[in-house]
Amino acid sequence: MKVIGIAGFSGSGKTTLIEKVVPILVREGLRVSLIKHAHHEFDVDQPGKDSYRHRHAGCAEVLVSSSKRWVVMHELRGAEEPTLSDQLKRLSPCDLVLVEGYKSESIPKMEVHRRASTAPLLHPDDPHVVAVATDEPLETSLPQLDIDDAESVARFLIQFLGLNRARLVR
């Protein structure tokens, strides 16, 4: 599995860019997965649902399965948060894993930056940033991609990661 982070501060457009790029990568024949690092108190379960009730009763893991999807919810119950490496091992085989969050991990990253952002740039202090998707020209020798051109971002990811079997690279 190839792994690349999509990194930037809140409000930079990471999720929007991922949402536009993933369908292009999938259309080009790649199996894509994603790991998102969330805030401490997120919950995907809903109060009142059986799975919520079982989890709150004390189950360490609850697996919900149907003919369309399955999900495992794992309660840490005071244990240390798993590392990105730990979480990558839990994924089914795929061609590409996009990682949103985990800004300080030592993985290749595409920085997402918008002119309107007041947050600092990551790439001057992070040697793992390999490109910047932005809406303004920046003073850097890194490749700069138009944040609003999902095709060019997908093409860069395919070429950079050596996934050239995808149909997009001609």
Domain residue limits at 132: 2-42+80-160
Q: Domains in the chain: how many in total?
A: 1
What CATH number has the domain bearing residue 34?
Answer: 3.40.50.300
Query: How crowded is the C-beta side of 149, counted as CA atoms within 13 Å?
Result: 13
Give the tens place of pLDDT for each residue, 71-81: 998 999 999 99
**Residue that is written with structure tokens 């259309």 in the block:** 27
For residues 51 and 2, is the Cβ–Cβ distance under 8 A?
no
Q: Is residue 153 part of a domain?
A: yes
* Model pTM score: 0.90
**Residue pLDDT, tens place only, 74-127:** 999 999 999 999 999 999 999 999 999 899 999 999 999 999 999 999 999 999
The label of the residue with tokens 């109060």 reads: 47
